[in-house]
Amino acid sequence: MNYLIRNGRILDPSVNLDAVLDLRVTNGIVSEIGPSLVPQNEEIIDAQGLWVTPGLIDLHVHFRDPGLTYKETIATGMRAAAAGGFTTVCAMPNTKPVVDSVEVVRYIRSEAAKTPVTDLKIIGAITRGQNGEVLADIQGMAEEGICALSEDGKSVMNADLMKQAMLLAKDLDLPIFDHCEDANLAHGCVSPCDAQKALGLPALDPIAEEVLTARDIQLAGLTGCRLHICHVSTANSAEIIRVAKAHSISVTAEVAPHHFALDDSEIWKNDANYKMNPPLRSSDDVAAMIVGLQDGTLDAIATDHAPHHENEKNLGLEKSANGIVGLETSVPVSVTALVKTGLLTPLELIDRMSTTPGRILGGGKGTLQVGAQADIALIDADTPWTIDKTKFETMGRNTPFDGWNVYGRVHTTIYKGQIVYQEGKIQV
């Protein structure tokens, strides 16, 4: 199917374009952009009042398949991505078994092929079984086309082993997506704060994140590996990254919507839908996340989409599993918290949600330029609506954003030139 998308506000950070224009999609490719394009034999999409953006790219999701499909399957995760405007997502390797071999990479790819609504990129583990002791089959997984390496959920505590992984990653031109947390400093379930003390909960101190962020940036400087810091949550971590960039170390970073839209005062609610790792931080840290997004220290917004079964999230703050779902709330929470408040322009937001993560991945994603694969999101940024978790495509219902009155609703998602999601429904 060919499309003419008319009168939308085209937001393409790759060329700094923000203008009301028409955009033509022919044979899966963006074929023309301009004012008042003459319709040919194609379907017309009226985008009056909508943003037309490159398909969103999420560098950090958990799809739970293989092994934990009571939380999420590859199919439900990919449908949630399409519903959230995402045409590319990168799945973390902490499945069962861990993604540490060619076989598991092949399994995920074959499952993903059954639900062609988004591009599922696979992240391989750094160590076998994420045991922190022996490197995984990094070479083999690289040959199978993984997009990055990560030990997400924990850090490789042996610095020498991490250095070896970085040298190998550099040779193979793979980035490392780094969960920074010193296991010896990481105790507790929420950040130190008034609510944590009042509720008698053990504190997870920011230093655990900051120490490992600093260590791995030094190792990246030494090895020349492309390092991407996952879910930055503290002002100090952001400052460490800012300084590293000023010293031309090859480091990028992401922040999750909950870390710029919520702070640790939510812990008073004593609800595990506010529990994630890293935990919600102080209002000063939240302010630093926003400054980091504004000045580009924090390159990307990534959801850390982490579906869990209800029975794993109703055990209180101390015992419940870490994480919340994010794919279907990222656009509304980001538009509401960052754009409607004037903290980011629409073009800056789409840069952090598509163009820059596309650059981190490579492969020409995150642009609407003529010749690019037609991965496109149409977003209604102006009509207020209310988030309703019962309508999610993901199997997870673990969200703190249910019932939020927001702006920013994904209207249509186009992947490889095909409408895969439109007005509340998956189209495939």
Residues that bind Zn ion (CB under 5 A): 152, 304
What's the token pair of residue 283? 């209002």
Q: How far is the CB of 368 from Zn ion (least distance, A)?
A: 29
Q: Is 42 helix (H, G, I), strand (E, B) or coil?
A: coil
Q: How far is the CB of 249 from Zn ion (least distance, A)?
A: 23
- Looking at the Cβ atoms of 307 and 366, the one nearer to Zn ion is 307
- What is the number of H-type helices and E-type strands within the chain? 14, 19
- Looking at the Cβ atoms of 85 and 278, the one nearer to Zn ion is 278
Which candidate in 12, 285, 304, 380 is catalytic?
304
Q: Across 235-367, where does the E strand assignment appear? A: 251-255, 300-301
Measure Cα distances from 415 to 42, 276, 421 in Å: 17, 30, 9
Cβ atoms of 373 and 363 within 8 Å: the answer is no
Question: CA-to-CA distance for 135 and 373, rounded, in angstroms?
Answer: 35
Q: How far is the CB of 305 from Zn ion (least distance, A)?
A: 8
100 in catalytic set: no
Residues 6+ apart with CB under 8 A from 270: 195, 199, 316, 317
Q: How far is the CB of 314 from Zn ion (least distance, A)?
A: 21
- Looking at the Cβ atoms of 24 and 258, the one nearer to Zn ion is 258
- Looking at the Cβ atoms of 152 and 328, the one nearer to Zn ion is 152
- Looking at the Cβ atoms of 179 and 409, the one nearer to Zn ion is 179
Per 3-state DSSP, the chain is made up of helix, strand and coil in percentages (nearest 5) of 35, 25, 45
For 362: left if phi > 0, alpha if psi spans -120 to 50, otherwise beta; the answer is left
Q: How far is the CB of 230 from Zn ion (least distance, A)?
A: 6
| HSE (side-chain half, CA atoms, 13 Å) at 50 | 23
Query: What residues are annotated to the active site?
Result: 304
